[in-house]
Structure 1
């Protein structure tokens, strides 16, 4: 038997992340006919080309998952979040996705997402002020 060791880290290298993902994708290819996994990002940069916000997402098998939507404090309340969501929805529709999904915590942006058509479909309770943790979806019918 091969000797295996566990290495704990808070910062896997890009290569370690990519290799871990490749192991998962190898398994997935053996289980489903099509590996349909496509990344997407909308990045907001200031005049100095400094990143000040953005949206990171991924489409997979007809779903569009928003992993991160964030804005620097000075950009909040100016419509940038709405703009990013609209552009993401346009992309999701172009990719023929039938829904968008995301998750958010109690102290984050549930009301914002509900105002843009997302509904809670699941929830994990836990200690305040962090929880509940909401799982939200928007159909793209």
Structure 2
């Protein structure tokens, strides 16, 4: 049985097609960049929610203090994760002592991200937009 080898045309020469190998460093960089964009989007959403809750005030929103605490804690946790990312990014993991530190920091970051996710699920559960009907339209 013969084997079919794909070819690509390069000018007048015919070359065998070779697959690019995965560059782990480039993959990690793109993944970190995408995660950073999502973090910024979540931080922006939390800032918007905080602004809304503060504009509505405690008289108009039944869960004012709960949402205030949850949103502020989410923002503080996100800032903490950002600082830890800066610390872990500065470590040289090719050195033995830094490997253990990086591993511990990575585990702490995973726990904090879980807490941020849980926090934002609870924030969503108390429905910021659900109370829009109770807001005085003249105030907006």
Instruction: Tell me the TM-score normalized by structure 1.
Output: 0.24
The structure where helix makes up a greater share of residues is 2
Larger strand fraction of residues: 1
Work out which structure has the larger RCO, using CA pairs closer than 8 Å and 6 or more positions apart in sequence. Answer: 2
Higher-Rg member (1/2): 2
What TM-score, normalized to structure 2?
0.24
